[in-house]
Amino acid sequence: METTARPARDQWGSKLAFILAASGSAVGLGNIWGFPTVASANGGAAFVIVYLLAVALIGAPVMLAEFVIGRRTERNPVGAFKALAPGSAWVVVGALGVLAGVMILSFYSVIAGWTLAYIVKAATGEFTAGADTAAIFNSVAGSPGAAIGWHLAFMSLTVLVVIGGVRGGIERWTKILMPALVVILLLLVARAVTLTGAGPGLEFYLRPDFSRIDVGVVLAAIGQAFFSLSLGMGAMITYGSYMTKDDDLETSAGWVVLFDTSIALMAGLIIFPTLFHAGLEPGAGGPGMVFVVLTSLLSTIPPEPWGGTVFGLLFFLLLMVAALTSSISLLEVATAWLVDDKGVSRKKASIGVAALAFLIGIPSALANGAVPWLSSLPGIGMDFLSFLFMVFGQYALVVGALLISVFTGWVWGVRAAAAEVRSNDGKFSLEATWSFLIRFLCPVAIVSLLVYLLWQQLAS
């Protein structure tokens, strides 16, 4: 690979900066909106256990694999596969990633748009005692103008950051705001677990009923792990490509996984006690559930009427920023491909991709009450946003991660990959474990689940 012939590429400013940026990509709506939504639809605590196993045994090794591919090649996913397996069909994995990124961004921006709307709702004092939580959600998601307008606003913010490039844009945001998010989450956990009726919620979330585990739950857990960790479509390949040669890939992957998972677990501690306190049905709320539940939590925070307003403002502002540090990584993959491989300017590439994702996102923006048939697709029963989340936010990532693990484990090879992991300090302490997981456990687990699911579908 002649990396020297190309113009100097952006790089992260320091080791910590890389961990923060990768965590910024990982931590987002997937943790605070996705994790509780998927957990409640899949039986609560039983799902949580499978999720933790999926993160440790499948998510973490794939994250390291993506970092390694990225740093070795210094390319976007398409270019990376071209560089490591020239002339082969593996480049399709990169292309699939570019596509999945655009599709995920399309609905991600819709949900993130709701957080923007909720910032305004907090500011105007709507989160006070007796708030009509469902009506508040409906006034945003159920109104075509509001839903599309906030979607456009969020997509525009995303483009503005991505145009700034890696160091100027992405890095600066993440550093300050992630720790602030953790603080406010902890305060909300404290409020949620002390609500009357919190007990049954904690039980649903933490006491597993193993009879609820089935293949569907396991696949949902793996899919959610990939979504939350930003894996399976090359986002972490792209971020890894901006790492310097002294970054430690192994510890970086460990920190990002730990951080991301802790935040998801905290979100569960907020959502489930509140959900039961508010007398809602777990698994019934769809994409709006988390927003409805959060409103009812905020409206219990004293002193009236300031508590809900102040906490609401802080919380939704930080959630919006967390979503922004994730959406930029979704936009960055297609942008980096157009910039690196097609010679398009960064500005043109990011505006073009975002405009496309905005248009594709419009039906998702209309799928939570605004347009009835999009809100419950004929023959599928699901709303359009949840459907896209399932197809691109879960299945495409599972398939992408499968191919990435097969490529790293068998095609490029664990030896070459391990040499790259070791290149900064000569150490790779979990080499044997990682090699086993990436070569055997990840591919075998994913393939058998997919085959079983397909077989079930055909049999029914």
Question: Where along the sequence are the contacts to ligand TRP (CB under 6 A)?
Answer: 25-26, 28-31, 104, 227-228, 230, 233, 235, 326, 329-330, 397
Nearer to ligand TRP by Cβ, of 219 and 370: the residue is 219
Nearer to ligand TRP by Cβ, of 170 and 365: the residue is 170
Residues shown for the chain: 460
Half-sphere exposure in the Cβ direction for 8 (13 Å, CA): 4
| Nearest distance from C-beta of residue 157 to ligand TRP, angstroms | 15
| Nearest distance from C-beta of residue 24 to ligand TRP, angstroms | 9
Nearer to ligand TRP by Cβ, of 228 and 435: the residue is 228
| Nearest distance from C-beta of residue 263 to ligand TRP, angstroms | 9
Half-sphere exposure in the Cβ direction for 250 (13 Å, CA): 19
Helix (H), strand (E) counts: the chain = 23, 0
| Nearest distance from C-beta of residue 70 to ligand TRP, angstroms | 13
Nearer to ligand TRP by Cβ, of 228 and 241: the residue is 228
| Nearest distance from C-beta of residue 217 to ligand TRP, angstroms | 19
Q: Is 246 helix (H, G, I), strand (E, B) or coil?
A: coil
Nearer to ligand TRP by Cβ, of 233 and 437: the residue is 233
Give the list of residues 6+ apart from residue 111 with CB closer than 8 angstroms, or none: 29, 33, 287, 323, 385
Rounded CA separation 413/265 (Å): 34
Nearer to ligand TRP by Cβ, of 112 and 370: the residue is 112
| Nearest distance from C-beta of residue 404 to ligand TRP, angstroms | 12
Nearer to ligand TRP by Cβ, of 17 and 397: the residue is 397
DSSP assignment of 342-385 equals H---HHHHHHHHHHHHHHHHHHHHTTTTTSHHHHS-TTT-S-HH
Give the list of residues 6+ apart from residue 381 with CB closer than 8 angstroms, or none: none
| Nearest distance from C-beta of residue 33 to ligand TRP, angstroms | 8
The closest of 162, 167, 173, 171 to 11, measured between CA atoms, is: 167
| Nearest distance from C-beta of residue 29 to ligand TRP, angstroms | 4
DSSP state of 77: H
Count the Cβ atoms, other than its own, within 10 Å of residue 35. 28
Are residues 380 and 389 in contact, defined by beta-carbon separation less than 8 angstroms?
Answer: no
Nearer to ligand TRP by Cβ, of 64 and 235: the residue is 235
| Nearest distance from C-beta of residue 456 to ligand TRP, angstroms | 26
Tokens of 149: 């307008």
Q: What distance lies between CA 25 and its chain's CA centroid?
A: 7
| Nearest distance from C-beta of residue 422 to ligand TRP, angstroms | 27
Give the list of residues 6+ apart from residue 41 with CB closer than 8 angstroms, or none: 220, 283
* Torsion angle of C-alpha atoms 234, 389, 202, 262, degrees rounded to 10: 10
Nearer to ligand TRP by Cβ, of 236 and 367: the residue is 236
Are residues 252 and 425 in contact, defined by beta-carbon separation less than 8 angstroms?
Answer: no
Residue nearest to ligand TRP (CB): 30
Instruction: Reply yes or no: is the peptide bond before residue 86 cis, omega within 30 of 0.
Output: no
Nearer to ligand TRP by Cβ, of 29 and 338: the residue is 29
